[in-house]
A and B are shown apart, each in its own frame.
Chain A
Amino acid sequence: DAGVIQSPRHEVTEMGQEVTLRCKPISGHNSLFWYRQTMMRGLELLIYFNNNVPIDDSGMPEDRFSAKMPNASFSTLKIQPSEPRDSAVYFCASRIAGPSGETQYFGPGTRLLVL
C-alpha cells in the first residue's frame, strides 16, 4: 500500500499566484481531510469529504481557498490568489468512514512558501 500520496512535496510561489495541491487517498478509504499546519497554530482542519461530498468546510480560511474531490481517488486544494500568510505545510489524510474510532492516515504533506 503506497499510503496517502500528495504532490507537490514542496511549492514556492509568488504572492498572487494560483496554487494547486493534490492528494490521492488510500484505496478503499472514503473519507478525506485537508489540514494546514503552522508553528503558531498547529494542525487545523480545513475541509472534510465523505464519499466525495464536502461535509464540513468551516475551517477553510476564506474564499481564496477551494477544495474539490471529483472522484474517490483524487482531491485538490486550490489557493487563488495566494498570500504570504498561506505559507504552511498542508496535509491530506484519509480513513474509512464510520465511528470516530477509525484512524486517519496522513500523507507526507506539501510545504508551501508564498513569497
Chain B
Amino acid sequence: GENVEQHPSTLSVQEGDSAVIKCTYSDSASNYFPWYKQELGKGPQLIIDIRSNVGEKKDQRIAVTLNKTAKHFSLHITETQPEDSAVYFCAANPSGYGQNFVFGPGTRLSVLP
C-alpha cells in the first residue's frame, strides 16, 4: 500500500526565514497531495493542495511543488511568522479517489521570534 515519508520531524526557524518540509510517496496511482496544519487542541486544517497534473502551486507565503517522476512533494513557507508554529502533515490519496488519505508522520515547526 501507499507509504508517505516526511522530513524533517522537527524544524526551528527564525521569524522571517523560510521553512521547507519534504515528503515522498510510494504509490504512483496517487494523484492528490494536500498539506494540513494542526495547532494544539485543534483538528488539521488544509493550507494548500496540489494535483498530479500541476508541478507547482502558490498561495501568498505558501507554495507546494510536486515531482511525479521522483514521487516527492515539498511545502515551502516564506517570511515565517510565529503563528506559523504548528504541526504540518503531508498526505497522499492512494486510490486516486475518495478520502482514504495516507498521512506523513508530521513536522513540528517552531518559528522563533
A binds B: no
Interface residues, chain A, CB within 8 Å of chain B?
A: none
Interface residues, chain B, CB within 8 Å of chain A?
A: none
